[in-house]
Structures are given as C-alpha cells and as structure tokens.
C-alpha cells in the first residue's frame, strides 16, 4: 500500500477504534497523535485506580507483581461501553506451561483477537504481570445465567457451576480476567500460582466491596472450555472467602488522577498477509499523560 497521509491514518484509525487490532504485526509506517474522548480516559483512569489498589494489596503479601509498560491505559477495545467497573474475576489456564506474557498482552492476530487476552498473566513461579484495565479478549460467548451467579457472589462454595449453551453475552467487558500458565494436567496450577490467584481474587473483592467472592472460571461460563482451569471453583471460592476474612473495611480506591493530556499515539502498520491481499492496519501504540 502507498504511504498514507496523516489525515488518512487518523481516519483509518478512528474507523477501527472500537475494535483495535494488535499493533505489532508488521512494519510501522506512520504515527501521529490524537486526543481521545476524555470520558474514555476517565474510565481507564478509574479502572487503573481499582487495579493499582488491588495489586498493591497482593504485593503487600509478598507476591511478585510486575507492570507492563502502558498497562494503565491498555484495553482490547476503546469503546466507552466496554470499559466498565469489573463485576467478577474470571480465572483461566492458558493450556500451556510456557505461554509468553507478550502473547497475552499483544493478542492473537491469526484468531482476530486484539490484545490483551487477559488483564493479568500469572507465570508458573507465581509472578503476576498487570497488562490492561478494560475490555480483554478472554471469554468469547458465554452462558449469562452462570455468569450472573458468579457476579452476584452466589456461586456454590463446594462445586463448579455447570454452564448451559452459549448465548449472545460475553464476560469480556465486565470481568477481571486472569490467565495462568498451565497445561491442564494434574499440576495445572502450581502451588505458587494457586496462592497468588487466591490473593488476587480476594483483593478485588476487598477493593470493590464484595461481601462474597465474585470468583468464577472459564469452564463455568461455556461448554467450550471444560477443564479451564482444572481446579475446583468451589474450592477456590471457599479459599478466597477465607482470605477475605476477617472482613476488612472495604478499601476505597484513591480518586483517579486527572490526566494532564489525553494523547494517543496512532500508528499504521503494513501487516503480514493472511489472504490474497496485503493489508494495512492501524492501532494505538501508547497512552500519554
Ligand atoms: Zn480460558
């Protein structure tokens, strides 16, 4: 494709802003800045405050928490309706022990999934990477009835929920998504992973003022993901409930910082060719303050 003008880049990017695509598929051929809707910036800042406080509680217990550059402004979609206060924590395994954090962060272009694929990535040693604070491509289509029980804190403490068929609902915009490296075997999650996942689920419950865990799993949201993860969610929920007691006063997140500016850097890439035509893609490269 011929080189595009800045105006063409901006128009292309705006057209794709609702469903951004992974920005590192090919050669960067252009970049410019654009002011983003302050309401979207405010929603990202609000969520970043929630994540910052929850992960501070986790780190204070001695767990290793690392932050990917740009995590505070990162979402797999920049539609305002898709950047909401989380109502549940959905736990996954990656179906492999060596899944890279860059894959979870950047997405999967071959499956048409913009990144991140999860808000948090947990390595086998229990290290947690914080990747994004909004919509993430982790859940696909789901059984809303099961999701509603998880988000209401009424899922059972002694067993998994059994999902019905997928509907039109997806938990992608409403949940904190945790992907933990695990291949689905008998040691699907290591003891270090299980310990930090309990701490993360309990921390979000405290920060968001939930009286019971709003903890669930991918395998409880859809019949497409049996064994994702292997651990019994009844067991996990009861361990999270224990970690929440004695009941602390709910932690109030600090007010979101007021951004000094709302620049996004917009990029245009010559992407790899997946079909007959070489395609050009646009995306956000960074989140300025
Ligand atoms: Zn999953």
pLDDT digits (tens, 9 = 90+) for 110-142: 777 888 999 999 999 999 999 999 999 999 999
Tokens of 172: 């992608």
Least confident of 34-48, 94-108, 219-233, 261-275: 261-275
Task: Give me the domain span that covers residue 278.
Answer: 6-36+262-287
- Do 30 and 164 belong to one domain? no
Clarify whether residues 51 and 32 are in a common domain: no
Query: How high is the pLDDT of residue 36?
Result: 67
Residue 248 lies in a domain: no
d(CA 182, ligand 1 centre) in Å = 11
* Whole-number Å distance between alpha carbons of 34 and 268: 13
Q: Do 27 and 64 sit in the same domain of this protein?
A: no
CATH code for the domain of 68: 3.40.80.10
Q: Is residue 225 part of a domain?
A: yes
- 66 plus 20 within the same structural domain: no
Do residues 21 and 281 touch, judged by C-beta distance below 8 A? Answer: yes
CB 201 within 8 A of CB 89: yes
Weakest mean pLDDT among 45-49, 101-105, 242-246, 283-287:
283-287
CA dist., res. 250 & res. 116, Å (int):
28
- State mean pLDDT over 241-245: 91
Taking the centre of ligand 1 as the mean of its atom positions, its distance from the CA of residue 268, in whole angstroms, is: 30
Q: Please indicate, yes or no, if residue 255 is contained in any of the structural domains.
A: no
28 with 111, same domain: the answer is no
Assigned domain for 250 exists: no
In a domain, 116, yes or no: yes
Q: Which residues surround ligand 1, an ion (CB under 5 A)?
A: 92, 218, 228
Within this chain, do residues 111 and 148 fall inside the same structural domain, yes or no? yes
Q: Are residues 212 and 266 in the same domain?
A: no
The alpha carbon of 135 and the centre of ligand 1 are apart by a number of angstroms equal to: 15
Q: Which of 284, 173, 149 is nearest to 221 (CA)?
A: 149
What angle do helix axes 191-207 and 233-243 make, rounded to 10 degrees?
60
């Amino acid at each position: 494709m011929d080189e595009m003008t800045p105006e063409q880049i901006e128009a292309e990017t705006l057209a794709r802003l609702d469903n951004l695509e992974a920005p590192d598929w090919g050669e960067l051929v252009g970049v410019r800045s654009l002011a983003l809707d302050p309401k979207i910036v405010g929603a990202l800042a609000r969520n970043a405050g929630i994540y910052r406080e929850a992960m501070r509680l986790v780190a204070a217990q001695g767990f290793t928490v690392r932050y990917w550059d740009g995590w505070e402004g990162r979402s797999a979609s920049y539609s305002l309706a898709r950047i909401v206060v989380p109502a549940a924590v959905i736990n996954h395994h990656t179906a492999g022990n060596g899944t890279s954090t860059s894959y979870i962060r950047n997405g999967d272009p071959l499956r048409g999934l913009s990144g991140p694929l999860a808000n948090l990535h947990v390595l086998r040693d229990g290290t947690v990477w914080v990747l994004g604070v909004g919509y993430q491509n982790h859940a696909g289509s789901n059984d809303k009835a099961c999701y509603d029980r998880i988000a209401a804190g009424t899922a059972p403490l002694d067993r998994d929920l059994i999902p019905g068929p997928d509907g039109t609902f997806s938990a992608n915009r409403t949940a904190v998504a945790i992907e933990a490296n695990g291949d689905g075997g008998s040691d699907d999650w290591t003891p270090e992973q299980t310990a930090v996942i309990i701490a993360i689920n309990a921390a979000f419950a405290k920060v968001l003022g939930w009286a019971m865990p709003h903890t669930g799993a991918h395998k409880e949201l859809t019949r497409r993901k049996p064994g994702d993860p292997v651990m019994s969610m009844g067991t996990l929920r009861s361990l999270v409930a224990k970690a929440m007691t004695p009941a602390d006063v709910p932690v109030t997140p600090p007010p979101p910082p007021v951004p000094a500016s709302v620049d996004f850097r917009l990029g245009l890439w010559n992407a790899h060719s997946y079909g007959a035509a070489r395609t050009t893609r646009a995306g956000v490269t960074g989140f300025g303050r």
